[in-house]
Amino acid sequence: MAIRFGYTLMTEQAGPKELVRYAIGAEAAGFDFEVSSDHYFPWLSAQGHAPYAWTVLGAVAQATERVELMTYVTCPTIRYHPAIVAQKAATLQILADGRFTLGLGSGENLNEHVVGEGWPSVVDRQDMLAEAIEIIRALHSGDLVDFHGEFFQVDSARIWDLPDTPVPIGVAIAGSEGIDRFGPLGDHLIAVAPDADLITGWNEHPDTTSTGDGARAIGQIPISWDPDRDTAIARAHDQFRWFAGGWDVNADLRTTAGFAAATQYVRPEDVAESIPCGPDLDAIVEAVAPYWRAGFTDVALVQVGGESQEQFLAEAAGPLLDRLREASGG
């Protein structure tokens, strides 16, 4: 099975018009799909952006023709009500002519705190996500929906514009408990670490569709390509040193100032050890390889730094995709 390689529309590091331009460039460069983050804040102030992802994706759907599109990921529980996410996803699927996948997760305090509803415990966030998926599925059936749950209420709601192609749902999952809880609710697995046990657990679960038999396992990895390695390292350290914090830390920090404080002792050499930096395409291939070896079907690349995107797409993306496909057997 050929591995598919995607491009990340990183809303934290570029404005809306630039993201649409990069999406067009990524399609022309040969990427198979494009994923978009959905943030209200950047991780660090140095990134400098956070446009509304859904408006950007609507424009991207009209500006591209071939690439599949995906939220990676949207939290449908606090900043958005799940009934609104269901409507947005249905509309975007129509605009994209069936190329859209709704990627969902339990969110980060960084983005969800803005509506003043507080930050629930991880247990409650997982329960809220499960309830939200139930609502989205119900609304995507086209039926009139009334729902009275522990966290959400829906009063006589119906989505009037439904796509011919149903919206697939991917869910961000970590660990066997996540598979048990969300595997039966989602169509696809989303994870940001090349965990072979996670793929095995998903495929062996009695209530999931196996990867390769219809389900996708969609990973993501940051890279910092640049003709100059020192420039690539400096950029990754300036804008992406938060990446080393891990989900347990990153989910709970509330502001860019909090991320700056939490990463103040992360050194450039630390970042260079976890993110491939510089012009060496083979080094990038080596960093991505654990994903297909673990059984992932799809991997989205995050090129660090908004200012680097056009050069990356023009000079490196095509040759890099060729090497990735050759190395992965695609």
Chain segment 51-87, per-residue pLDDT in tens: 999 999 999 999 999 999 999 999 999 999 999 999 9
Residue 46's alpha-carbon distances to 99, 236, 257, in angstroms, are: 32, 11, 11
- CA 65 to chain CA mean position, Å: 20
Domain annotation for the chain: domains and CATH numbers = 4-328 (3.20.20.30)
Let me know: does 138 contact 147? Beta carbons within 8 Å: yes
- Residue 23 amino acid letter: A
What DSSP character marks residue 260?
A: H
Chain segment 184-213, per-residue pLDDT in tens: 999 999 999 999 999 999 999 999 999 989
Residue 1 has pLDDT above 90, yes or no: no
Which band of pLDDT confidence, cut at 50, 70 and 90, is reported for residue 275? very high
What are residue 6's phi and psi, to 5 degrees? -120, 170
- Tell me whether residue 237 is one of the annotated catalytic residues: no
Chain segment 207-224, per-residue pLDDT in tens: 999 998 999 999 999 999
Let me know: does 70 contact 103? Beta carbons within 8 Å: yes
Which member of 12, 18, 39, 237 is catalytic?
39
Structure tokens at 195: 């965990």
Chain segment 127-147, per-residue pLDDT in tens: 999 999 999 999 999 999 999
Quote the mean pLDDT of the chain.
Answer: 97
Could you tell me which of 235, 247, 241, 243 has the C-alpha nearest to residue 304? Answer: 235
Query: Span 271-280, mean pLDDT?
Result: 97
Residue 31 has pLDDT above 90, yes or no: yes
Q: Which residue has the higher pLDDT, 244 or 28?
A: 28
pLDDT of residue 231: 98
Structure-token match 């090129």, residue found: 303
- Tell me whether residue 108 is one of the annotated catalytic residues: yes
Chain segment 228-274, per-residue pLDDT in tens: 999 999 999 999 999 877 777 889 999 999 999 999 999 999 999 99
Which member of 34, 108, 112, 131 is catalytic?
108
Could you tell me which of 317, 299, 305 has the C-alpha nearest to residue 241? Answer: 305
What DSSP character marks residue 329?
A: T
pLDDT of residue 49: 98
pLDDT of residue 244: 74
